[in-house]
Chain A
Amino acid sequence: MTSKPKVLMLGWEFPPVLTGGLGTACYGLAKALSKYAEIELLIPQSDKETKLENVHIRGMNYFGINGGQTVEVPMQALEEFAKVKKIPAPSLNPYPVGIGFEKEAVALKSPEAIRALYSGIEPYGPNIMQKVATYAEVAVRMALETEFDVIHAHDWITFPAAVRIKEITGKPLVIHIHSLETDRVGELAKGDWNRVYEVEKKAMEKADRIIPVSHYTQECAIKNYGISEEKFYPVHNAIDPEESFRLPKKSGEKLVLFLGRVTFQKGPEFMVETAWKLLQVYPDVKFFVAGVGDMLEKLKALVLERKIDHKFVFAGFLSQSNVKKVLAQADVYFMPSVSEPFGLSALEAAGFDVPCVISRQSGVAEVLPNALNANFWDTGKFANYIYGLLNYTGIREEMVERTKQDLSKLSWDDAAQDVMEVYRSLEI
């Protein structure tokens, strides 16, 4: 590999449309990686304002439009490709890799419908399988128009596309695991009706290299998907240094911040249990829940039942700038996740000098040795940690100082260089 490798990167979430950490991670990595590789990034929705030098971003919300003009999507691209690559025509079945829901895809001959599919504000939504299927079709089309050395795909939503592109082009496939279905729904992932687990498993089997975002995620993948160790190259997520600030709180009460989707994976019941234990002894604190999710109503009912609802603030989904304002006021960042592949928001909190109390079952615990961690079910220990942070200054000062040093060791550039190592190992 003497010149810069050409990477076909398949992403999904991307700034400014961000739901979880996936978009931030993809952005951070692409930006740093562009120093070492030429990247063509395919995402469902691109934004004219969000540009990256040396990264050619192609949004499917602009599919069929070139320079403001609608163009015909050349259906003969496949056939021409076949001629060049000398692939026998019969094997060029338009669906060489069955993903099980091709019928759901919006037909390529309807570029307008495709653009519409990816122009909403919700990157997932109830028609997510249609989006994934369509993405697979469109991505293959776009891939055939591109020259690249390696495919780099982020998470299950891009995996059907990625696997298919590998099958057609023969290029090596690197899959990047930011999340696992088993993290999201536990044992339910292996149920017959769950399609996401199958997509993840097949991709791991077909991939040449697997990049999990933590050693913890690697262990989960090996344990739950039966993949052997050799293909794995863990690369930790990082964070771009940011301006942080502190804001005075309106009330004198301390603030413990829970920031993330209110869903099983994030351990909301353990947060309630911890809060209850703490409030028995130390009532001068509020638990601030910033996020929405399928367990939000259950969570509200739970705190009501425990008679601690007056100590909880449910702020709903916050914009980036409001998240920063809350971080600037938080006394403790609390992440009792049941299974967290990484946990980028903990890095964000750490960047705002907020001491972090986090689950041991998380990837981010690997890069924040000076955060306080405990097993996700150990609510007594969590409560003890939070009590200590709210009452004793020594631990707060020490943690914040040491975490600053830990953060300074993290960079997307290091992550990018690790990814380059992975590419090099493929001898492309």
Chain B
Amino acid sequence: MTDVCLIFQVHQPYRLKEYGFELIGKDHSYEDSARNISVLNRIADLCYIPTNKILLDAIEKHKGKFRIAFSISGTCLEQFYRYRPDVIESFRRLSQTGYVEFLAETYYHSLACLYSEAEFRRQVVKHERAVQNLLEVRPTVFRNTELIYSDKLLPVISELGYKTILAEGKSQNMGGLSPNRVFSAGLENINILTRNFGFSDDIAFRFADPSWSEFPLSGKKFANWLSKREQDEHSLVLYMDYETFGEHRKQETGIMDFLGALPDEIVKHENLQFSLPSDAAKNGPENKPVYSSKDWTSWADEDKDLGAWHYDHMQKDALKNLYACELSLYKIGRPDLLDTWGRLQTSDHFYYMSTRFWQDPVHRIFNPYNSPYDAYLNFMNALSDFKGLIMKA
């Protein structure tokens, strides 16, 4: 029997407005609220609301046989709360079925793990509280920003009380095994659920590509692929951006219908069952193979490393300057300043600054700036003003 975990990432950053150097010291609001609200509304209408409905209907239809999970960032939850409470309501209804799990992460979808353990903890705890408040559940499975993982995370994750972490099914970390099993990591015997990026990206990237050899993809065909498991493959993790459904791939591609039909097709296979990630982890064998990554791993690009956010001079300089504020901020202790600082930590800001992936088509989809230089300058100007605020406080 193979546990199929279908997990969706839901995230929206607070995008910055155009912040020229002349505003430094004068204008202390950095965000493009109009744009952020407009994007949120569009994606709520094209994706979150309709797709949640499709999933809710399927859950009710299959009476417990269809189970899914979400990882919703704090910045996203906040924006829903403020601008689209109907989306929160729709996630609550999903939660109340009892067949939907919510994962833990850093509140600000940040790279704090690279710079500050204290800040990392603060953000994980803040996220837990938000999920508890808005969705009335406590996360038990952890997923770091963009599936960034290394063995270094284990002690702090364990201390925070998590026994299961999601990571990218990168072959060199799995000792040559396929990702379709529960792994174990470190002395704490923490469970690692590894994303099967082949199948996940079939849906998230290749689904609407007519030049793909498997186009068009039906629920039936996909379920067939999933069912062909080896003896020892007891779990299969599909993890993707939720915006795939309706935004990155528009309704006309048929992706919503595909998602709607998928549960029907999968339950037809005797050796497949939908599971919540925490259950899949519990179902793992006594002796699990080891997943180990000394270096930082992620789900991004071909290299699946930190290349998308922490690679070139601008990214590293911006991050360094940002986290240099930590000590002063903790001393001052003002929650509003800490929150502004948190929002500036969202990984998207640094993704936009990448010169390495400037021309990469996937990176362009998410990028509001014309050039990585514009992204960096904009961020650094806002940060300069913020540093000024810290000095004055």
Chain A residues within 8 Å of B, Cβ to Cβ: 277, 280-282, 370, 372, 380, 383-385, 387-388, 391-395, 397-399, 401-402
Contacts and interface: CB of A to CB of B under 8 A. Distances in A.
A394 B355 contact: no
B373 A399 contact: yes
B381 A281 contact: no
B22 interface: yes
A395 B314 contact: yes
B377 A370 contact: no
Contact of A384 (B312, B372, B377): B377
Given A388-B380, A388-B381, A401-B313, A394 B21 contact: no
A280 B312 contact: no
A398 B22 contact: no
B316 to A, nearest CB: 7
B317 interface: yes
Given A370-B355, A392-B377, A398 B21 contact: no
Nearest to A372: B373
B313 A397 contact: yes
A417 B218 CA distance: 52
A105 B372 CA distance: 55
A395 B377 contact: yes
A277 B313 CA distance: 27
Contacts of A388: 21, 376-377, 380-381
A392 B376 contact: yes
Interface string B4-25: 0000000000000000111010
A1 to B, nearest CB: 37
B318 interface: yes
A384 B21 contact: yes
A393 B20 contact: no
Interface-centre pick from B316, B318, B355 (highest chain A CB count, 10 A): B355
A280 B373 CA distance: 23
Interface-centre pick from A277, A282, A387, A392 (highest chain B CB count, 10 A): A392
A388 B372 CA distance: 13
A interface: dominant SS: helix
Interface string B285-315: 0000000000000000000000000001111
Interface residues of B, number: 19
B21 to A, nearest CB: 4
B21 A383 contact: yes
Interface in B336-393: 355, 372-373, 376-377, 380-381, 384
Contacts of A383: 21-22
A395 B373 contact: yes
Nearest to A386: B21
Contacts of B20: 380, 384
21 contacts: A281-B24, A384-B20, A384-B22, A384-B381, A388-B380, A391-B380, A392-B380, A394-B316, A394-B317, A394-B318, A394-B376, A395-B313, A395-B314, A395-B373, A395-B377, A397-B314, A397-B317, A398-B312, A398-B355, A398-B372, A398-B376
Given A394-B318, A398-B355, A281 B22 contact: yes
Contacts of B24: 281
Nearest to A401: B313
B226 to A, nearest CB: 43
A212 B206 CA distance: 42
**Closest 10 pairs (CB-CB, A-B):** A394-B317, A397-B313, A394-B314, A387-B21, A398-B313, A388-B377, A394-B313, A392-B380, A384-B20, A398-B314
Given A392-B380, A401-B313, 5 more contacts: A370-B355, A384-B22, A394-B376, A397-B313, A397-B317
A370 to B, nearest CB: 7
A52 to B, nearest CB: 38
B381 A402 contact: no
Interface in B16-65: 20-22, 24
A380 B377 CA distance: 13
Nearest to A371: B373
A416 B352 CA distance: 38
A133 to B, nearest CB: 48
Contacts of B377: 384-385, 388, 392, 395
B76 to A, nearest CB: 28
A383 B376 CA distance: 15
A52 B305 CA distance: 51
Nearest to A402: B355
Contacts of B317: 392-394, 397
A74 to B, nearest CB: 60
A286 B99 CA distance: 66
A282 B355 CA distance: 27
Contacts of B314: 394-395, 397-398
Nearest to A388: B377
Nearest to A387: B21
Nearest to B18: A384
Contacts of A281: 21-22, 24
A367 to B, nearest CB: 16
Interface-centre pick from B21, B314, B381, B384 (highest chain A CB count, 10 A): B21
Contacts of A398: 312-314, 355, 372-373, 376
Contacts of B376: 388, 392, 394-395, 398
A261 to B, nearest CB: 28
A277 B380 contact: no
Contacts of A384: 20-22, 377, 381
Contacts of B318: 394
A372 B369 CA distance: 14
Interface in B56-104: none
Contacts of B381: 384, 388
Interface-centre pick from B318, B377, B380 (highest chain A CB count, 10 A): B377
